[in-house]
Structure 1
Amino acid sequence: MSIRCPNLPFLPGYSFNPNIGKNKYHLNPIFGFLGKGNMALIEKVKPNMFGPLSDKYPSIYPRGQSVELPGWIMFDKQILSFDGFFQETLQEVRGSPFQVRNVKIYYFLEDGTIQVVEPKVENSGINQGTLISRQRIRFPVPMDDNFYDLIDFNIGKEVELYGRVFKITNCDKFTRTFLNRCGISVPDPIIGPEDPYLELRSHDKDACQPKKPNRNKDSLGKFLENDRKVLHFKAYWDDQMTEYGYLHSLQLRYYLADDTIEIKELQSESGGEPGFLFLKRAKLPKRYKELPPVGSNANYTVLNVLGSALSNRRYIVDPLDCGRENIEYYGERDLSIGGVINCYGRKLVLTDCDAFTKEYYAAKYGISEFNSLPEPTQNKETVYIAKPRERELPPWNGFGTYEDSAQNCITVEPKAPNKNLKKFLLYDRVGLDSHILRFKAKMVSKIPENCTRNFIISYYLTDDTIAVFEIGSRNSGFGTSTFASRAEVQLPGQKIYVSKHPLCYTSEHMYIGATLIINGFTFVLTNADEYALRYMELNCGQFPKANLKAIMDKVREKLRPIYKNFVAENIPTESSVITYSKLRNMLCKIMGEDFTEHEMITIARGFSASCFNEKYDRQKIRAIALTELKRYLWDDLDRLREYFLQTDYLKAGKLTKKECYTVLKGARLPFDNELLEKILEVMKKDNECKISYEEILQFLNRTLCAPPDEPPINIKNQLWWGSEPLAEAGKLIDWCAFNKYLNLESTFKEAIEPNSISALEKTS
């Protein structure tokens, strides 16, 4: 009190209790301004009874001589840090009445708040961290009207915070400098008292030891030293003398971390499963008599010395370990090339080891010779190859599917049948690649109306299922609907109520000209969509009807003896193009009934002579693009050039199509996406499919041979890739390319005149 009111001496009679006659102790809510125009509820500290105390001025400066700025601006992020300690009483530790706990006291200058933190010490056994959160702290009673200020903290002082006394022993350099500039003398650091509990533990180590004997083996050090170090040996077990026995090739692994052994069986000619676990990882005893009883391997032997009732039993630990049996296990010293180990009655002979094992034994035991032993020969006469017996299931009863019935017969618990997940992931839909083959089909029926119906048969490669959809014609009496839902379709002529799953239609049965029987209805595949034909040609190994090389090999063998007459009768007179129907009629007569319609379509697509004239060429696209630029008053080629140069960090002058598209979109050209795609399509590309951006800049420059303006068109509709259908491939066939692929030129030159040869070479 005398520090804050130096006008009155701190003597009896000059001070009194300010709470006398007071019946209200609440804080008066007062609204103030925090800055200009920011009104908030603030707490006014009650002034000292002996004189005015204003929070506007720091308490260490005389009034009127300090800068009139808020504390959160003057002392922002400025903290006074003090080191201290407090003593905590210990009643449960003999010889240590208390323990010393070191703390950090932080005083925040911006608002006068205090925080006390105890640094965390590992394995201390007490909760450490923040002891007192950041807040303003009042003095203890009877001086609790005021708060602690910075002059209350100094080295050597004791502060009482919430009933706990903290002794300040040191401070940091910033705190010492700040207090000195404020005119406060800071003493030298003092040394705190030593902790009697730590002294007790350092001098009397036996006082902290457990009373009971500890027989636990510390294997942590061995584990840390030998973790992931494994000794590999090759071994064999000759079991050919027994019935159905064979020679087992084994791999023995010895783990140095815990002295355990794991044995796996390698693949052999006897049909053993590769990677079969011969012995699970565990310690291998040298002598095995019987299964050890419960508790035989425990570290303690417990004796019941008193009573048999549940409440009067007394137990002690047997220090002599009476009845404990010492079991010898195989160690690293027992393993060597040529050695024989006993694996639960089976004699395993070690024949070889790896390089790490050789280095380990050479470094630790000084062994230098590691001669591998040969394994005995396999006696093929006595070898018995155990084939897994297939489980005989009862025949299908007609309820559910074959897979569900088989799964319910295998296990009592109902489980869903396993599906071919690998095939599903391989043929699942990826973008526009749907892996669905769609064919156009006609129904073969005695009813004339059914023969006019149109069907679409979809074959799903993911699970070999088939779905049939009907496309209704106008005034036919049949609507568009699902004719047969998606499911597996069995091949005709099979028994239904059998235990094994009957054969179903696969991808090999799907080709143009094939006949399918679905739910008793006969369908003939007459055509396929472009995706199906393209997919079958790309995967010709899976679809032999779409393998052009195999088909032409068959045609070559058939035409070899009659190729002379074949070429002489069918040489085109006007051009080197022949129609599809003409070539089909010729090949059907020669190839016979085995020649299918799909094979003919494959030949026609392989040697197609169909041409396609684009509606919009390069000059047309440039005229449309320059018209759009003129229409939107765009003329910023210099900035576009800078964008290209910035993107081309290799300074090669060329960019990929994707990079050019990104630059043109980023330059905000007034083009639709369809027009941008067309512009990049008509650009010239090099061997790496890159485009020169100088050509794009010249293409968009109106000052270089600008074509006349084009009338406005619907760009999104006219330039869309699907607006103009492509010519159907296969209607016209290149006769010269077809004969050149047959590679029968010698016979061809003998069959025709020299004039015809020269004319044909000119046309080709």
Structure 2
Amino acid sequence: MSVRCPDLPFLPGYSFNPNIGKTQYGRTPIFGFIGKNNRSLVEKVKPNMFGPLSDKFPSIYPPGQSVELPGWIVFDKQILCFDAYFQETLQEVPGSPFQVRKVKLYYFLEDGTIQVIEPKVENSGVSQGTLISRQRIRIPAPMDDNFYELIDFNIGREVELYGKVFKITNCDHFTRTFLNRCGISVPDPIMPPADPYMDIRSHDRDAMQPKKPNRNRDTLGKFLANDKKVLHFTAYWDDQNTEYGYMHHLEVRYYLADDTIEIKELQTEAGGEPSFMFLRKGKLPKRYKELPPVGSNSNYTVLNVLGSALTNRRYIVDPLDCGRQNIEYYDERDLSIGAVINCYGRKLVLTDCDSFTKEYYATKYGISEFKPIAEPKSNKDFVNIPLPKDRELPPWNGFGTYEDSAQNCITVEPKPPHKDFKKFLLYDSFGLDSHILRFEAKMKSKIPENCTRNFIISYFLTDDSLSIFEVAKRNTGFASTMFAARSKVQLAGQKIFTSKPPLCYTPQHMFVGATLIINGFTFILTNADEYALRYMELNCGQFPKANLKRIMEKVKEKLEPIYKDFVAENMPVENSVITYERLRDKLCRVMGDDFTEHEMITIARGFSASCYKEKYNREKIRAIALTELKRFLWDDLDRLKEYFIHNDNAKTGKLTKQECYTVMKGSRLPFDIQLIEKILEVLPKDDDCKIRYEDILQFLDRSRCPLPDAMPLNIKNDLWWGSEPQPEAGRLIDWCAFNKYLDLESTFRDTVEPDSVKALENIKNT
């Protein structure tokens, strides 16, 4: 590598130690001149070794004026391009002893490498491309110690590269300018000699005959002009004369792009298979006799002209196609309303067409009348034809699952049962939606120890399966483990060994207060997680126990006759708030056994009264922020404002919460992440959830509404979102909102006493 490019940097892979393996370090015994008329023993310098001990310099600079920078930096990506040619001898071409092949010769200035490329010529008959890959090439013997350099290339010169002599005829503008600046005169371009082989080919091109006749037709133009253009016709096939025949209603489609026909059968009165393919897409012959023999559709006809033995046969292509059969196919001219099409022996009558077909025939053929044809009446009574019955399967024998046994009864080949793939895609986990409803359950048993056990029942909406996990307490003798693996659970009290599929638990069976019998064990659902309750409320059409409107209609119907007494009992409620247990006891006495725990939870969540007060409000958060700014001596609001304006490309004065967080974090405010999130949480937002950054600047301005310093606190712990648990929704119920939704005041306003009405209005106003 050092010989090829001595000025490369001393990096691994670019240089090596020339003294490795050397045993003699003596000077080469030759004499040279040091100064004028002073002979002395000097060391022989290898050719093309540019260095401090070398007396040879690059040819593009005079001696003593070589550049100090290495060539791989000065001449990076600078290439000299020459046009050249060489003659190649032809042995078996009469009238052409040689051919001229034109090439591109590239000289890379950065390392003195050469590359020869022959441009590709269509139908040249030779493999073209890179003839000589990029490399340094030595001058032929006896000067093979030296490599080709820049001064060896010029217009009119011949260069021998690996036995081939290249004649340089021209160069590009950059090469000519570069050589002129180096003091090298560049002659005018030279015309390359004529190629006798190409002259013969161009002269005899018209006389040359192809070996095989061209039978292919160019249909690309027709395809591009008529792509996605289809003619639609309605037709019928009267097959009522056969024993089980009926009137077939068909739809004929003619594709203008490739002249193919497709026929589809529509739904019939006889209850046949709906919308199946009557004829697949393809060309429809007008006359059909039999299946065509093998090779009849080929583009060529091969003749056996010599020999009948198994060997030494000779074949030739028949240019006249004597044995070809001309098959006529239906095209657009054969289709019209009232026309009869022969579809492999079946007579199809076209009755009508669509608007596009009418416009197409009116534009191209000038047809203006498109009167539909009425179909003949059916002469068979399809009312008495019995509909196909469902296949009756044998009763389940208890081996395997029911679906697996049913699938083995349908087909002889064992196949796995089909799954509801659409339901799987609809209820598959996506983001934070797991589509798994989890309930807390208790076991109902005669054994007292089992009644204290806690279970988590998970219902998977993807395949309606259940799994039970036991959460054991310490020192109870039970372990926290999987109680029942995930599988479908059949409803109790139904016959097992029947041919009909058994009924299993559905999502409607899952609600708080429900009783499930799984594998002989009785479970009572006592609670549900937040995701299950929220999912059932959002899909209240599928879960009636979570439909607040339907539940309140039942409550309204029960409370209407006793609403006066019901309201009077709750008059002394303070702050119009009632507890969950108190309202539950009152509604259970009124509603009876028809009222479930899940319905009560839905009411409590719908009219929840949040009495939660945050530990740190806006003023406290601002006091903490100003204290941190004062403690770290930070006062650079102008720079922060510049950052906000720079990120506000629309110049609206507002940014999203994430953008504000990025700017504040990038401005190196002395705030923890929790404090920045709290500041952005307490600031007001518009309808698009954007924050005015002017509010942030006023919030952090210590000269505006100054506040006393806050007491020291652990910001990362106290301002963390999980440091204060949120209260459970529904523990307190808004009594006024509950009564307002019932809207039963008008039914008893005339009968109730004025003091009670006034008290009720006071409660409503509070």
Q: 1:19-30, aligned counterparts within 5 Å?
A: none
457-466 vs 320-329, which deviates more?
320-329
Partner of 1:261: 261
Tell me how far 1:543 sits from its aligned partner: 0.6
Q: Give the conservation status (yes or no) of the 8 Å contact 1:492–1:517.
A: yes
In the TM superposition, what are the counterparts of 1:556-705 in structure 2 within 5 Å?
A: 556-568=556-568, 571-572=571-572, 576-705=576-705
Runs of 5+ unmatched residues, structure 1: 1-26
* 8 Å contact from structure 1 (residues 565, 751) kept in 2: no
Query: Within 5 A, what are the aligned runs for 1:151-300?
Result: 151-180=151-180, 184-205=184-205, 207-212=207-212, 214=213, 216-223=215-222, 225-226=224-225, 228-239=227-238, 241=240, 247-266=247-266, 276-300=276-300
Contact kept? 1:672, 1:715, Cα under 8 Å: yes
1:58 paired residue number:
59
- 1:520 Cα shift? 0.1
Q: Secondary structure at the match of 1:592?
A: helix
Partners in 2 of 1:625 and 1:353 — Cα distance? 77
Distance in 1 between residues matched to 2:604 and 2:15, nearest whole Å: 88
Q: 1:33 to 1:170 in 2, by over 3 A?
A: closer
Residue equivalent to 1:15? none
Deviation of the 1:321 alpha carbon: 4.8
Deviates more, 1:395-404 or 1:116-125: 395-404
Structure 2 residue aligned with 1:748: 748
Secondary structure, counterpart of 1:169 in structure 2: strand
Counterpart residue type for residue 235 of structure 1: T
Q: In the aligned structure 2, how far is the partner of 1:647 from the partner of 1:592? A: 62
Query: What is the rounded CA distance, in whole Å, between the counterparts of 1:677 and 1:65 in structure 2?
Result: 67
Report the alpha carbon displacement of residue 83 of structure 1 after superposing the two structures with TM.
1.5
Report if aligned partners of 2:338, 2:373 keep a CA contact under 8 Å in 1. no
Q: Is the 8 A contact 2:215 2:300 kept in 1?
A: no
* In structure 2, distance between residues paired with 1:678 and 1:402: 57
Amino acid in the other structure paired with 1:104: K
State the alpha-carbon separation in 2 of the partners of residues 30 and 219 from structure 1: 56
Write the distance in 2 (CA, Å) between the matches of 1:675 and 1:601. 36
Q: Secondary structure at the match of 2:441?
A: strand
Residue type at the aligned position of 1:445: S
CA distance in 1, matches of 2:365, 2:15: 87
Distance 1:579 1:328, change over 3 A: same
1:550 maps to amino acid: R
Give the distance between the partners of 2:549 and 2:319, measured in 1 at CA: 87
Give per-residue Cα distances to partners, 1:73-99, cap 9 Å, x unaligned: 665554433222122233454444332
Indicate the SS of the match to 2:455: strand
Deviation of 1:227 after TM superposition, in Å, equals 5.8
Q: 1:397 to 1:46 in 2, by over 3 A?
A: same
TM-superposed CA distance for 1:717, in Å, is: 3.3
Give the direction of change, closer, same or farther, for the CA distance of 1:204–1:142 in structure 2 (3 Å limit): same
Distance 2:427 2:10 in 1: 70
Aligned residue in 1 for 2:426? 426
For the pair 1:85 / 2:85, whether they are aligned, the reply is yes
What residue number does 1:497 align with?
A: 497
Percent of paired sites with the same residue: 70
Structure-2-length-normalised TM-score: 0.85
Could you tell me how far apart the structure 2 residues matched to 1:529 and 1:562 are? 35
Q: Distance in 2 between matches of 1:71 and 1:649?
A: 47
Contact 1:584 1:600 in 2 (8 A): yes
- Measured at CA, do residues 502 and 164 of structure 1 come closer, stay the same or move farther in structure 2, by a change above 3 Å? same
- How many angstroms apart in 1 are the aligned matches of 2:347 and 2:291? 19
- Residue 513 of structure 1 aligns with an amino acid whose one-letter code is G
- Looking at structure 1, the residues matched to 617 and 69 of structure 2 have their Cα atoms a distance apart, in angstroms, of 76
- The alpha-carbon deviation at position 280 of structure 1 amounts to 1.5
Instruction: Give the 3 Å change call, closer, same or farther, for CA 442–149 of structure 1 in structure 2.
Output: closer
Query: Would the aligned equivalents of 1:118 and 1:131 in 2 still touch at CA under 8 Å?
Result: yes
* Distance of 1:748 and 1:156 partners within structure 2: 118
Listed one character per residue, the Cα deviations across residues 442-462 of structure 1 (whole Å, up to 9, x for unaligned) are: 222222222232222222222
* Residue 141 of structure 1: aligned partner: 141
**Contact 2:2/2:16, CA 8 A, preserved across alignment:** no
2:235, 2:352 within 8 Å by CA — same for their partners in 1? Answer: no
Q: Give the aligned partner of residue 3 of structure 1.
A: none
- 1:515 corresponds in structure 2 to 515
- 475-484 vs 612-621, greater mean Cα deviation: 475-484
Q: What is the identity, as a one-letter code, of the residue corresponding to 1:588?
A: C
Q: CA deviation at 1:466?
A: 1.4
Partners of 1:625 and 1:223 in 2: how far apart? 75
Q: Encode CA deviations 1:350-391: one digit per residue, 9 max, x unaligned.
A: 34445654555455x442415252553885943799967645
Query: 1:740, CA displacement in angstroms?
Result: 1.9
Give the distance between the partners of 1:486 and 1:471, measured in 2 at CA.
17
Following superposition, the deviation at residue 306 of structure 1 comes to 5.8
Q: Which amino acid aligns with 1:688?
A: D
Contact 2:453 2:472 in 1 (8 A): yes
Aligned partners of 1:194 and 1:383: how far apart in 2? 90
Matching residue's letter, 2:284: L
* Structure-1 residue corresponding to 2:372: 373
Contact 1:438–1:457 (8 Å) recurs in 2: yes
> Residue 153 and residue 257 in structure 1: after superposition, are their counterparts in 2 closer, same or farther (change >3 A)?
same
Moved more, 543-552 or 587-596: 587-596
Letter in 2 for 1:338: G
Pair 400,308 (structure 1): closer, same or farther in 2 beyond 3 Å: farther
Q: Which residue of 2 aligns with 1:124?
A: 124
Measured after TM superposition, the shift of residue 525 of structure 1 is 1.4
Aligned partners of 1:148 and 1:386: how far apart in 2?
A: 97
- Cα distance in 2 for partners of 1:274, 1:644 equals 65
Write out per-residue CA displacement over residues 191-224 of structure 1, whole angstroms, 9 at most, x where no aligned residue: 2222333333332235542345x26232345455
User: CA-atom RMSD, angstroms?
Assistant: 3.7
Shift of 1:269: 6.5
- State the shift of 1:119 in Å: 1.4
Change in Cα spacing, 1:76 to 1:648, as seen in structure 2 (3 Å) is closer
Q: CA shift at 1:302, angstroms?
A: 3.7
Distance 1:535 1:232 in 2: 50
In 1, the alpha carbon distance for the partners of 2:68 and 2:696 equals: 67
What does the per-residue CA deviation read over 1:658-716, in whole Å, with 9 as the maximum and x for residues that have no partner? 32222222223333333333222222223333222222222223333443333333334
- Of stretches 426-435 and 550-559 in structure 1, the one that deviates more from structure 2 is 426-435
**Who is 1:4 aligned against?**
none
1:100 aligns with 2:100: yes
Supply the AA of the counterpart residue of 1:237.
Answer: Y
CA distance 1:667–1:496, shift in 2 (3 Å): farther
Q: Closer, same or farther in 2 for the Cα pair 1:128/1:487, shift >3 Å?
A: same
Partner SS state of residue 593, structure 2: coil
Mean Cα deviation higher: 353-362 or 532-541? 353-362
Partner of 1:24: none
TM-score by length of 1: 0.85
What letter is aligned with 1:165? V
In the alignment, the residues of structure 2 paired with residue 671 and residue 68 of structure 1 have an alpha-carbon distance, to the nearest angstrom, of 55
Q: How many Å apart are 1:411 and its aligned residue? A: 5.1
Q: Secondary structure at the match of 1:751?
A: coil
Per-residue CA deviation, residues 546-603 of structure 1 (Å, 9 max, x unaligned), is 1010111122233334445544565446653444344334433433322222112222
TM superposition shift of 1:125: 3.6
Q: Cα 1:255–1:226, aligned 2, differ >3 Å: closer, same or farther?
A: farther
Structure-2 change in CA distance of 1:337 and 1:681 (3 Å): same
State the partner residue of 2:39: none
**TM-aligned CA deviation for residue 315 of structure 1:** 4.1
C-alpha distance in 2, partners of 1:317/1:30?
60
Q: Aligned to 1:717, what secondary structure does the other structure show?
A: helix
- Worse overlay, 367-376 or 510-519: 367-376
CA shift, 1:509, in A, is 0.2
Question: How far does residue 70 in structure 1 lie from its aligned partner after superposition?
Answer: 5.7
1:474 to 1:336, Cα distance in 2 relative to 1, 3 A: same
Q: Distance in 2 between matches of 1:751 and 1:443?
A: 49
- 1:307-359 deviations in whole A, cap 9, x for unaligned? 65532545455566555432211122212333222222233333444565455
2:36 alignment partner in structure 1? none
3-state secondary structure, aligned to 2:87: strand
